[in-house]
């Protein structure tokens, strides 16, 4: 009962856009309201603006440390994916040592994982609150806002369930019939049954497909991601589509989830739809001049390539809390030098690494003998919307999904990898193997919370340098996190 009370409190404290999404239009144009627990539910769900406020509040809460503002982006899952060298000095590294050894049963990590689970499901229930009420409120909405709001809420519900499945569920490629997680489709405090992973996959797929249909008239399809002011003719709610689960973001999530669920045909189809949109100018690869040649204000996240990102007003805290070398002698996350120079950004054609790679040149800064990760450091223009973005899904991943899904023979996907490499300033590969495809995933998605899930999907060794103990062999005890105590009790 205590955990249900906590979840209820989390639901009440979703800020329905009381904190502005930090947009160049300014806070006055966004939907300022008091915290949701101070607004009567009937009032919040009685106007079009109220539904917008509730939806915006869900997006804002995704930035919490226990979700994508830390644990599921740069911290917890990246350690699990072997992205960082973790030292042996417990006085410096504390509980991170346990996590690097996949000791999920420690008191600290049980509590942390419990927080992630509870927050994800509290936001799922907020999605359900919106979805249950919106059907009877169609008359409140103007233009295509009903379809957009409902579509985004369905996509958010699917995305959160998908990430809980990837985190706590079985290795899908091996044990899809095993029990995994519950799926909440209604606004209810009643615990839902834990279902087999394959059933959860079907429910995720259904929500994403319905969301895609609802978003079929999304202005992103004609006007692009709208990262800049598109003029007074477009409502503020419809601007900056890359900061919301837009039509192409949902399509990209279909590609990502289809690959995870072993449906390569669908993964290829939806990845290619996003790639085709990029060819038509809806999404664009980053301009080389913005990231190389020592520009005054490098675009380290390649913002024009981001299909969906969160907007976090304090994004620089990710750099300050985890990567800033000035933190030494406290812990600082960084890639092991051996892994960087001999495997990821070295190794020649064996790994495909190159020191000319834009991703290396713009994101890794030398301090002494070490290099540190600067993707989330502040831009000079701190007021720039790009300075708030935490990438959730990007164009480069679609090329890698297409490569992996092209054929059972992974070598057939070589052309997609080489196209991506051409936009990263490196020479084409002569052949493609699973290993050098994994290196490409690491280079493209480092610091974005996807590497561990790649290894889990492939059920392959987790790459680590010899200094870090060498590769971690694939086992269920590595990839399958026990359900939180709160769920077991419920």
In the chain, what are the domains?
A: 2-489 (1.25.40.390)
- What's the mean per-residue pLDDT of the chain? 88
Q: For 317-352, what is each residue's pLDDT tens digit?
A: 999 999 999 999 999 999 988 888 888 998 777 889
Separation CA 156–CA 207 (nearest Å): 9
Radius of gyration, CA atoms only, the chain: 22
Closest CA to 359 of 303, 289, 292, 297: 292
Indicate whether 31 pLDDT > 60: no
Indicate whether 11 pLDDT > 80: no
The predicted structure's pLDDT at residue 19 = 33
Query: Which pLDDT band, with edges at 50, 70 and 90, does 139 fall under?
Result: very high
- What value does the mean pLDDT take over residues 190-210? 96
Please state, as a whole number, how many other Cβ atoms lie within 10 Å of the Cβ of residue 288: 13
Q: Which residue in this structure is represented by tokens 């059920």?
A: 459
- Out of 3-17, 42-56, 82-96, 166-180, the most confident range is 166-180
CA distances from 240 to 304, 309, 388 (A): 12, 10, 12
This prediction's pTM: 0.92
DSSP calls for 312-360: -TTTHHHHHHHT-GGGTTS------HHHIIIIIS-SGGGTT--TT-HHH
Please state, as a whole number, how many other Cβ atoms lie within 10 Å of the Cβ of residue 490: 17
What would the two tokens of residue 404 be? Answer: 């992996």
- What value does the mean pLDDT take over residues 47-52? 93
Q: Higher pLDDT residue, 38 or 233?
A: 233
Query: Which pLDDT band, with edges at 50, 70 and 90, does 467 fall under?
Result: confident
The predicted structure's pLDDT at residue 34 = 38
Asked if 83 and 180 count as a contact pair (C-beta separation under 8 A), the reply is: no
Indicate whether 234 pLDDT > 80: no
The predicted structure's pLDDT at residue 239 = 83
Q: Higher pLDDT residue, 294 or 101?
A: 101
Query: Which pLDDT band, with edges at 50, 70 and 90, does 41 fall under?
Result: low
Residue 307 DSSP label: E
CA distance from start to end of the chain:
8
């Amino acid at each position: 009962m205590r955990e249900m009370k906590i979840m209820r409190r989390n639901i009440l404290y979703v800020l329905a856009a009381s904190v502005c999404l930090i947009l160049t239009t300014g806070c006055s144009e966004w939907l300022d309201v008091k915290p949701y627990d101070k607004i009567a539910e009937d009032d919040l769900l009685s106007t079009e603006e109220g539904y917008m406020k509730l939806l915006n509040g869900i997006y804002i809460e995704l930035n919490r440390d226990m979700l994508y503002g830390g644990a599921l982006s740069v911290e917890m899952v990246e350690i699990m994916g072997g992205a960082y060298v973790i030292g042996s000095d417990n006085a410096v590294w504390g509980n991170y040592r346990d996590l690097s050894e996949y000791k999920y049963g420690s008191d600290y990590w049980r509590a942390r994982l419990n927080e992630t689970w509870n927050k994800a499901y509290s936001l799922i229930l907020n999605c359900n609150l919106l979805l249950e009420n919106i059907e009877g409120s169609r008359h409140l909405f103007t233009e295509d806002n009903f379809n957009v709001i409902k579509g985004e809420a369905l996509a958010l519900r699917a995305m959160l369930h998908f990430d809980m499945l990837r985190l706590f569920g079985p290795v899908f490629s091996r044990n899809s019939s095993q029990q995994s997680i519950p799926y909440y489709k209604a606004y209810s405090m009643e615990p839902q049954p834990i279902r087999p992973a394959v059933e959860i996959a079907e429910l995720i797929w259904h929500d994403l497909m319905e969301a895609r249909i609802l978003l079929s008239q999304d202005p992103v399809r004609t006007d692009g991601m709208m990262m800049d002011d598109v003029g007074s003719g477009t409502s503020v709610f419809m601007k900056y589509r890359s900061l919301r689960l837009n039509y192409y973001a949902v399509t990209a999530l279909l590609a990502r989830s289809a690959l995870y669920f072993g449906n390569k045909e669908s993964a290829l189809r939806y990845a290619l739809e996003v790639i085709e949109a990029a060819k038509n100018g809806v999404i664009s690869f980053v301009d080389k001049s913005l990231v190389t040649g020592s520009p005054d204000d490098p675009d380290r996240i390649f913002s024009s390539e981001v299909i969906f990102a969160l907007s976090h007003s304090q994004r620089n805290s990710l750099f300050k809390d985890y990567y800033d070398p000035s933190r030494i002698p406290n812990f600082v996350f960084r890639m092991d030098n051996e892994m960087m120079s001999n495997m990821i950004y070295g190794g020649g054609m064996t790994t495909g690494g190159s020191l000319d790679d834009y991703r290396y040149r713009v994101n890794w800064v030398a301090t002494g003998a070490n290099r540190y990760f600067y993707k989330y450091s502040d831009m000079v223009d701190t007021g720039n919307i790009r300075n708030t973005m935490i990438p959730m899904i990007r164009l480069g991943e679609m090329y890698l999904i297409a490569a992996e899904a092209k054929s059972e023979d992974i070598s057939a996907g070589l052309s997609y990898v080489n196209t991506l490499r051409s936009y990263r300033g490196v020479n084409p590969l002569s052949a493609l193997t699973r290993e050098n495809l994994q290196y490409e995933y690491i280079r493209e998605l480092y610091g974005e919370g996807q590497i561990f899930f790649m290894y889990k999907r492939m059920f392959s060794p987790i790459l680590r340098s010899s200094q870090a103990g060498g590769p971690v062999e694939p086992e269920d005890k590595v990839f399958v996190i026990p359900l939180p105590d709160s769920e077991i009790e419920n």
